[in-house]
């Protein structure tokens, strides 16, 4: 079953229109499933307060959706973060009358320069993300891998068995 991890950056809460909400902490996870393809959307919940939220969201991503509401310092940090992490696949969604030409002045020479520009239409964007997930190779296995741990907790009431047993 193919899965695509997508970071949605630039507009807190935008992912609510794309998928069903899951776990929320420093990042919020949203899920989309169609047929055998799944999309996991990662949105930085605390980015304005914590830079690591942006790093976690972008670090998980196979692809990014950059929603551009303003051309400000947060936009610049996001472009630099995506470039440093090498997130080469992505979509730019301009809002508030911002044009692709205005954005391209700030993304030239970065991975974001190659992102596809789409209109602000969440249902069409959701279908695009699902179609990207469906194109992923199936059934391939790797010799090694990594698992991202988002949450951990202490188990109370744990009883250690005596060593004589």
CATH number at residue 95: 3.40.50.300
- Domain-embedded: residue 141: no
Mean pLDDT of 143-159: 65
> How does residue 159 score in pLDDT terms, banded at 50, 70 and 90?
low
Burial of 23: CB neighbours in 10 Å, binned 0-12, 13-18, 19+: exposed
Residue 143 lies in a domain: no
Total of domains in the chain: 1
For residues 49-78, average pLDDT: 91
Within a domain: 151: no
pTM, two decimal places: 0.81
Whether residue 48 is contained in a domain is answered as: yes
Nearest alpha carbon to residue 64 among 118, 100, 144, 1: 118
- Give residue 165's pLDDT band: very low, low, confident or very high (50, 70, 90): low
96-138 pLDDT, tens digit each: 999 999 999 999 999 999 999 999 999 999 999 999 998 887 6
Q: How confident is the model at residue 2 (pLDDT cuts 50, 70, 90)?
A: confident
- Is residue 32 situated within a structural domain? yes
Q: Domain containing 87: what range?
A: 3-134
Considering the domain boundaries, does residue 56 fall inside one?
Answer: yes
161 is a domain residue: no
Q: Is residue 119 part of a domain?
A: yes
């Amino acid at each position: 079953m193919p899965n695509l991890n997508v970071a949605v950056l630039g507009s807190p809460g935008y992912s609510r229109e794309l998928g069903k909400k899951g776990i929320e902490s420093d990042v919020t996870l949203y899920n989309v499933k169609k047929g055998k393809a799944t999309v996991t959307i990662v949105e930085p919940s605390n980015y304005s307060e914590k830079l690591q939220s942006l790093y976690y969201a972008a670090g998980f991503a196979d692809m990014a959706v950059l929603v551009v509401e303003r051309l400000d310092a947060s936009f610049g940090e996001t472009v630099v973060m995506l470039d440093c992490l090498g997130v080469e696949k992505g979509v730019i969604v301009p809002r508030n009358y911002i044009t692709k030409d205005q954005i391209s002045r700030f993304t030239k020479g970065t991975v974001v320069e190659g992102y596809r520009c789409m209109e602000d239409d969440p249902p069409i964007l959701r279908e695009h993300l699902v179609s990207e997930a469906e194109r992923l190779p199936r059934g391939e296995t790797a010799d090694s891998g990594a698992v991202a741990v988002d949450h951990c907790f202490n188990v109370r009431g744990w009883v250690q068995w005596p060593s004589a047993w």
